[in-house]
Amino acid sequence: MKPSTLEIHFDGHREAYQPGEILSGGYRFDMSETPDVVALEVSVLWHTEGKGDEDLSVHLFNRFDISSVGTHTPYHSGRFSTQLPNSPLSYEGVIVKIRWCVRIRVFDGRGKDIVAERPFRLGLVAPARAVLP
């Protein structure tokens, strides 16, 4: 499967949201290039990056069997929408970062998958600066 066949977009072409706002958008992939797709998952999640253990939490998770949604065109598309939580806010720290994204995973009949992510910011926390001695 080719990762370039999977696209994610946000309504209004936004990249930043406030807590409690509605995040909505859609996805699309080319079924003619991936004819053996059996399922897809849509997730809205956050994860940490940096020093120490990395954390991950899923805010929204939906899994669809392709046979249940029906496909009559070479392209399969869908939509997602969720009210965002109050926390954790996106953060660009020196030691740790908190990042939010929408993740789409498409599974083929052989158990392989392709993944696409579209990052977004939750809240308006200023990035941290390193303090030099």
Give per-residue pLDDT as tens, 84-113. 999 999 999 999 999 999 999 988 888 888
What residues form DSSP beta bridges with 80?
25
Q: What's this model's pTM, rounded to 2 decimal places?
A: 0.87
Query: E strand or H helix at 26, and its extent?
Result: strand 22-30
The more confident residue out of 132 and 35 is 132
Q: What angle is formed at CA 90 by the lines to CA 89 and CA 93, rounded to 5 degrees?
A: 115
The answer to whether residue 80 scores a pLDDT higher than 80 is yes
Backbone angles phi, psi at 50, to 5 degrees: 135, -155
Best CA proximity match to 46, nearest among 65, 59, 64: 59
Confidence at residue 70, expressed as pLDDT on a 0 to 100 scale: 58
- Residue found under tokens 């992510």: 117
Judge if the upstream peptide bond of residue 19 is cis by omega within 30 degrees of 0: no
| Cα 128 from Cα 96, distance rounded (Å) | 10
- Give the burial class of 7: count Cβ atoms within 10 A of its Cβ; 0-12 exposed, 13-18 middle, 19 or more buried: middle
The answer to whether residue 56 scores a pLDDT higher than 60 is yes
| Cα 44 from Cα 99, distance rounded (Å) | 11
State the pLDDT confidence band at 1, using cuts at 50, 70 and 90: very low
State the pLDDT confidence band at 18, using cuts at 50, 70 and 90: very high
| Cα 106 from Cα 30, distance rounded (Å) | 11
State the pLDDT confidence band at 44, using cuts at 50, 70 and 90: very high
Confidence at residue 73, expressed as pLDDT on a 0 to 100 scale: 66
